[in-house]
Amino acid sequence: QKEVEQDPGPLSVPEGAIVSLNCTYSNSAFQYFMWYRQYSRKGPELLMYTYSSGNKEDGRFTAQVDKSSKYISLFIRDSQPSDSATYLCAMSQDSNYQLIWGAGTKLIIKP
């Protein structure tokens, strides 16, 4: 079993929909949780960075961490075609530790 599980998709939704992307993990020591966005033929870029449990909001994006269930989510409101990309979750025990990555979910927003 992988330490971090992420459904590879693709997930296809109409423009304007609310998107929910998720990762589950097995290591209860993880405390730092990140979401990266990767456009085709580009490197990943950091979208959201949260520490421990709770929610964090940035514009149309909300990151949610539920440590009791070992489950993290990224919500995208009012989705746009420009949100079409692969979304990767990553997590670590400490900010100086290696990141453990999910496989990435390919998201397609249809106009």
Partner 1 sequence: DVKVTQSSRYLVKRTGEKVFLECVQDMDHENMFWYRQDPGLGLRLIYFSYDVKMKEKGDIPEGYSVSREKKERFSLILESASTNQTSMYLCASRLSGEQYFGPGTRLTVT
Measured from the CB of residue 84, what is the shortest distance to partner 1 in angstroms? 17
Pick one of 1, 14, 41, 111: the residue that binds partner 1 (CB under 8 A). Answer: 41
Q: Does 44 bind partner 1 (CB under 8 A)?
A: yes
Q: Which residue, 16 or 51, has its beta carbon nearer to partner 1?
A: 51
CA atoms of 1 and 18, how far apart (whole Å):
30
Report the distance separating Cα 29 and Cα 43, nearest Å.
Answer: 27
CB count within 10 Å of CB 49 equals 15
Binding to partner 1, residues 92-111 (CB under 8 A): 92, 95-96, 98-99, 101-104
> Which among 8, 24, 1, 21 has a CA at the least distance from the CA of 91?
24
Cα gap 19→90, rounded to integer Å: 19
Binding-site string for partner 1 from residue 51 to residue 90, where x marks contact by CB under 8 A and - marks none = -------------------------------------x-x
The CB-of-65 to partner 1 minimum distance in angstroms stands at: 15
Burial of 61 (0-12, 13-18, 19+ CB in 10 A): middle
**Least CB distance from residue 93 to partner 1, whole Å?**
11
